[in-house]
């Protein structure tokens, strides 16, 4: 503790907080990049080990069908007996921390999601690793900021640096990583935030290049350049991907809710693990992240999807790849939600990439099969990846530039932007928020780019209620009121009935003329001195703070009485305290 205190004192004397934040962005980028590389390496070797041990067995179908159950059981045991607590729900828990918890994430989040997701995916769980590693990076940034006692604003910035570093480390795409933080975590890209986010992303990407080489997740080079005549077909792809995105969101909601209603965690584990095993046996591309199948599609090898299946003899039929692709599009969201709902740990970032690639390839192949002008299936798969990510994550720019980086150039920039824009426009009337933010928005727990509106939604009205007003009862005499006045420091006295119903207030200025006339103490009643309150003077505990602000503005009042829905008195809201809390919120959450 003495060493920690000495470091803190030295920091206060020699480093301003903005300078320290920039320096820490390097540290956070380094650690989150190492975490990303470590996770990918750990999953790679774990998957190979599981495959070497089990896949060569004669009863391979049975073994493959049981592996997801084994992985989910091990994950649940790890969470219950090693983590000893809830890991959280990935990126939604990070968004909740940003909105409600001063960007504070538990230290265990720096490693728990990383290990748990490794177990789940290595044994065939149909989820992605991107969200767990982004959560890990966020926790690294949050805890470093808190350990050095930075302000909530800079703790939040380092949290964003950790998430950006994690994404940059996985995909070696620093610019897309910055856009991920801006669009998914709803950061404002300002002069204050841009430099730390850029430094963290570049540091993490450099670590990934140094340790894993120059290759990217989906190494691909565009060989068929975009032609303007193809634009209508890419627009059609955008519409199809919007429908797929809505299906993905609805199905994952329904399946996870179905598992949540099952009694007993082990019932969910067994049912989910076995169902996932059946899906994986029938459709091997659902095993694990699914990136191998996606890479095969990008290299125009749809026949590989039939490998290891009992229906692989149909691969040569012209209609078979279309049917299989459509079935994978339908079942992939079910497999992902089943993995998560039954106790596995993973994210939906990777599945949305896979689903988009399947969708793009399906649309191109369908156009080619029915005699329309031939389209490049690999290009459509790449654009589909960006479009579905846009629909699911509401991050069109991040999706566009991520895929542009994957291709090693910007030859597909126009179709990427066009398809993403069409998808975003089509899905917006149905889903206003990303898959990570939608439930938080429904609960009123989401900090958005509109900081003014967020302030009134996220500030806790209960914490602003002042309760140090001394009450008087309806029917009391002036003598009772004088005794109350002697003990109070306020000049307003709420009047309540015997059952605590609020009926009005007595203001000290109105009793000054008679307070020194003892002969009136027993004859004058409080009810005669009371001011009845109108609805404009009252606030219900169920009202939002935006309603409160409107009453302050319209009525030009300095205090409002707070009652519950049964008119029971709770306290007062002060105009000065309410707006002071608003200014503090804006100061703490502004990225400028």
Mean pLDDT of 157-174: 92
Whether the CB-CB separation of 389 and 373 falls below 8 Å is answered with no
416, pLDDT greater than 90: yes
Residues 6+ apart with CB under 8 A from 172: 205, 208, 209, 214, 216, 217, 405
Nearest one of 493, 489, 469 to 481, comparing CA atoms: 493
Confidence of residue 380 (pLDDT cuts 50, 70, 90): very high
- Across 370-390, average pLDDT: 90
| pLDDT average, residue stretch 398-403 | 92
CB 404 within 8 A of CB 254: no
Reply yes or no on whether the pLDDT at 447 is more than 70. Answer: no
**pLDDT given for residue 540 in this prediction:** 84
Mean pLDDT of the residues in the chain? 85
User: Using an 8 Å Cβ cutoff, are 181 and 160 in contact?
Assistant: yes
Q: What integer is the mean pLDDT of 445-450?
A: 64
Q: Rounded to whole angstroms, what are the CA distances from 92 to 161, 193, 351, 382, 523?
A: 17, 21, 17, 27, 63
Q: What pLDDT shows up at residue 408?
A: 66
Q: Is the pLDDT of residue 252 over 80?
A: yes
- pLDDT surpasses 80 at 509: yes
| Neighbouring C-beta atoms of residue 460, cutoff 10 Å | 10
Binned at pLDDT 50, 70 and 90, residue 578 comes out as confident
- Measuring CA to CA, which residue among 386, 451, 448 is closest to residue 183? 448
- Across 161-165, 381-385, 455-459, least confident range: 455-459
Does the pLDDT of residue 11 top 70, yes or no? no
pLDDT at 480 over 80: yes
Q: Choose the weakest-confidence range: 8-17, 227-236, 369-378, 571-580.
A: 8-17
* Residue 7 structure tokens: 């470091």
**How does 541-571 read in b/e, with b if 16+ C-beta sit within 10 Å?**
eebebeebbebbeeeeeebbbbbeeeeebbb
For residue 486, CA distances in Å to 49, 491, 510, 515, 542 come to 79, 11, 16, 11, 34
The two domains 2-212 and 228-446 share their CATH topology (first three levels equal): yes
List beta partners, residue 539: 562
Tell me which CATH code domain 2-212 carries.
1.10.3080.10
pLDDT at 343 over 70: yes
Window from 296-310, 329-343, 348-362 with minimum mean pLDDT: 296-310
Please determine, for residue 355, whether its predicted confidence score (pLDDT) is greater than 90: yes
Whether the per-residue pLDDT at 458 is higher than 70: the answer is no
At 330, the pLDDT band (50, 70, 90 cuts) reads: very high
In this predicted structure, the answer to whether residue 115 has a pLDDT above a threshold of 60 is yes
Which has the minimum average pLDDT: 89-93, 310-314, 471-475, 531-535? 531-535
Q: Residue 3: what pLDDT? A: 61
What are the domain boundaries of the chain? 2-212, 228-446, 455-589
pLDDT of residue 434: 86
Higher pLDDT, 282 or 222: 282
pLDDT the model gives residue 469: 85
The whole-number pLDDT of residue 323 equals 93
Asked if residue 427 has pLDDT above 90, the reply is: yes
Per the listing, tokens 């996220």 go with 458
| pLDDT of 390 | 95
**Terminal-to-terminal C-alpha distance of the chain:** 33
User: For residue 48, what pLDDT is reported?
Assistant: 82
Please give the model's pTM, rounded to 2 decimal places. 0.82
- Classify 455-589 by CATH class: alpha beta
State the DSSP H helix or E strand holding residue 98, giving kind and residue range, or none if neither. Answer: helix 91-100
Average pLDDT of 409-432? 90
Which pLDDT belongs to residue 69? Answer: 93
pLDDT in tens, 26-58: 999 999 999 999 988 888 888 888 877 766 555
Across 197-206, 333-342, 456-465, least confident range: 456-465
Give residue 139's pLDDT.
Answer: 94
pLDDT at 462: 77
What is the dihedral sign for C-alpha 345, 306, 255, 441? positive
8 A C-beta contact, residue 148 and residue 20 = yes
Confidence at residue 263, expressed as pLDDT on a 0 to 100 scale: 78
Specify whether the CB–CB gap between 424 and 239 falls below 8 A: no
CATH of domain 228-446: 1.10.3080.10
Phi/psi at 100 (5° precision): -120, -15
Q: What was the pLDDT predicted at 241?
A: 96
Q: How confident is the model at residue 500 (pLDDT cuts 50, 70, 90)?
A: confident
């Amino acid at each position: 503790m003495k060493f920690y205190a000495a470091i803190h004192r030295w920091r206060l004397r020699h480093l301003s907080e903005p300078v320290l934040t920039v320096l820490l962005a390097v540290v956070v980028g380094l650690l989150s990049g190492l975490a990303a590389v470590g996770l990918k390496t750990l999953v790679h070797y774990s998957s190979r080990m599981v495959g070497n041990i089990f896949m060569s067995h004669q009863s391979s179908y049975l073994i493959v069908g049981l592996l997801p159950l084994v992985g989910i059981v091990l994950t649940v045991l790890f969470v219950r007996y090693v983590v000893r607590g809830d890991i959280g729900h990935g990126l939604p828990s990070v968004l909740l921390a940003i909105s409600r918890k001063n960007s504070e994430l538990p230290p265990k989040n720096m490693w728990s999601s990383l290990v748990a997701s490794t177990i789940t995916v290595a044994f065939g769980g149909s989820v992605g690793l991107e969200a767990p590693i982004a959560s890990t990076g966020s926790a690294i940034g949050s805890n470093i900021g808190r350990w050095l006692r930075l302000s909530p604003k800079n703790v939040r910035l380092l949290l964003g640096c950790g998430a950006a570093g994690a994404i940059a480390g996985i995909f070696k795409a620093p610019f897309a990583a910055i856009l991920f933080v801006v669009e998914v975590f709803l950061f404002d890209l300002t002069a204050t935030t841009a430099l730390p986010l850029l430094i963290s992303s570049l540091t993490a990407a450099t670590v990934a290049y140094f340790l894993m080489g120059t290759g990217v997740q989906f190494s691909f080079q565009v060989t068929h350049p975009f032609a303007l005549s193809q634009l209508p077909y890419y627009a059609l792809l955008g519409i199809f991907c919007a429908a797929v995105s809505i299906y993905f969101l609805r199905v994952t909601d329904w399946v996870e809710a179905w598992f949540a209603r099952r009694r007993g965690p082990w019932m969910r584990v067994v049912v989910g693990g076995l169902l996932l095993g059946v899906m994986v046996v029938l459709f091997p591309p659902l095993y694990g992240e699914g990136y191998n199948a996606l890479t095969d599609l990008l290299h125009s090898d749809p026949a590989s999807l039939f490998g290891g299946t009992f229906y692989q003899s149909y691969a040569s039929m012209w209609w078979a790849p279309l049917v299989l692709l459509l079935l994978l599009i339908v079942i992939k969201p079910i497999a992902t939600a089943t993995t998560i709902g039954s106790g596995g740990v993973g994210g939906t970032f990777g599945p949305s990439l896979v689903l988009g690639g399947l969708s793009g390839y399906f649309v191109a192949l369908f156009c080619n099969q029915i005699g329309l002008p031939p389209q490049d299936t690999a290009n459509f798969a790449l654009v589909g990846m960006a479009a579905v990510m846009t629909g699911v994550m509401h991050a069109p720019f991040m999706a566009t530039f991520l895929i542009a980086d994957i291709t090693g150039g910007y030859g597909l920039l126009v179709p990427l932007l066009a398809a993403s824009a069409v998808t975003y426009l089509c899905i917006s009337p149905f889903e206003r928020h990303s898959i990570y933010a939608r439930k938080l928005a429904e609960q009123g727990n989401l900090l958005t780019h509109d900081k003014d509106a967020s302030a009134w939604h996220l500030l806790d009205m209960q914490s602003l209620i002042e309760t140090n007003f001394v009450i008087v009862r309806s029917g009391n005499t002036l003598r009772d009121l004088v005794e109350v006045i002697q003990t109070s420091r306020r000049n307003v006295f709420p009047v309540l009935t015997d059952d605590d119903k609020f009926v009005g207030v007595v203001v000290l200025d109105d009793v000054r003329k008679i307070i020194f006339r003892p002969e009136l103490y027993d004859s004058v009643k409080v009810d005669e001195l009371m001011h009845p309150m109108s609805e404009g003077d009252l606030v219900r505990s169920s009202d939002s703070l935006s309603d409160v602000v409107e009453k302050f503005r319209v009525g030009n009042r300095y205090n409002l009485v707070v009652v519950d829905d049964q008119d029971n008195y709770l306290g007062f809201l002060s105009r000065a305290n309410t707006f002071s809390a608003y200014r503090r919120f804006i100061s703490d959450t502004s990225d400028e």
